Structure 1
């Protein structure tokens, strides 16, 4: 007699490539409320190319309990979800089991995040090599990426409570 087992995809955080955060605030299309958003994406520079990086990101997100292409999770209702956001001294630090990233947030983002008490995290599996660190990203460029239906449906979404140290 044999027992079926699920396939485990080998995974290394290096396969993710360079992970970037970018934040903005604006009206949430679903609620109409002012919302702080935080996008996590890869530059697509993973070993094995963009497709390998996309697969690795999907694996990392799913292993973190996030649902790629599924409903928006509310981390405040899922205390064991290993997705944490700390906002302190103008910095947002996002921690997942396979990576940690830090971002200097704009003052308007910080005000909305504190006022609402949570941030809408969008974790893109699709690489975005256009938006490199140190270079400004226009509102139009950002809107075209985060508003692309394929990017939206291939991302994981999570409402994260704003935590601070101390």
Structure 2
């Protein structure tokens, strides 16, 4: 089980509505290590309804150079100015031009993020009103939603380098 966290309130009248983030990870096998993910989605409760929110999310992502194709893009140190991820003390702080959110992450997720040096960020254009912030998300529920082919092709997928506080 993992749980969702809401981003701080978006401005009144925002087309995006309530933005939510869910940290999760793959199940490690003998061949592949645990891979950490962050999924960002809207509840579809913004001004103009779910369709307007979907268009707004797509526009925000494309404006910062994240393609909405379902293809994985690796953000380098130079090209990641618009997307940053700080992971420290079992907290992930994700910053995009239209979003800044901090969410708790399990120790195993944090360890995987440090080991991999990056986290796979999935920004969904399609709203997901079924999981409100703070609610637990069952792995099968998340898997069923994220493996939809139409959803995948209408999402932005990127590897975001992990930053840490200097010690």
Counterpart contact for 2:70–2:152, Cα < 8 Å: no
**Alignment match, 1:162:** 162
Secondary structure at the counterpart of residue 41 of structure 2: strand
The question of whether the paired residues in 1 share the 8 Å contact of 2:13 and 2:46 is answered with no
- In structure 2, the partner of 1:100 is 100
Shift in Å, 1:79: 2.5
User: What does residue range 68-87 of structure 1 map to in structure 2 within 5 Å?
Assistant: 68-76=68-76, 78-87=78-87
1:2-151 equivalences in 2 (<5 Å) = 14-26=14-26, 32-76=32-76, 78-151=78-151
CA distance in 1, matches of 2:86, 2:13: 21
- The RMSD of aligned alpha carbons is 2.0
- Asked whether the equivalents of residues 75 and 81 of structure 1 are also in contact (C-alpha less than 8 Å), the reply is no
CA contact (8 A) 2:58 2:68 kept: yes
Q: What is the count of residue pairs matched by the alignment?
A: 153
TM-score normalised to structure 1 length? 0.85
In 1, the alpha carbon distance for the partners of 2:143 and 2:71 equals: 21
Deviation at 1:41, TM superposition (A): 0.5
Once residues 115 and 13 of structure 2 are traced to their aligned partners in structure 1, the CA distance between those partners, rounded to angstroms, is: 34
Distance 2:71 2:77 in 1: 14
Is the contact made by 1:126 and 1:154 (CA closer than 8 Å) also made in structure 2? yes
Counterpart contact for 2:16–2:56, Cα < 8 Å: yes
Point out 4+ residue stretches in structure 1 off by more than 6 angstroms: none
For structure 2, the 5+ residue unaligned runs are 1-11
Contact 2:27 2:34 in 1 (8 A): yes
SS at match of 2:46: coil
Q: Structure 1: how far apart are the matches of 2:42 and 2:148?
A: 16
TM-score of the pair, normalised by structure 2: 0.84
Alpha-carbon offset, residue 121 of structure 1: 0.5
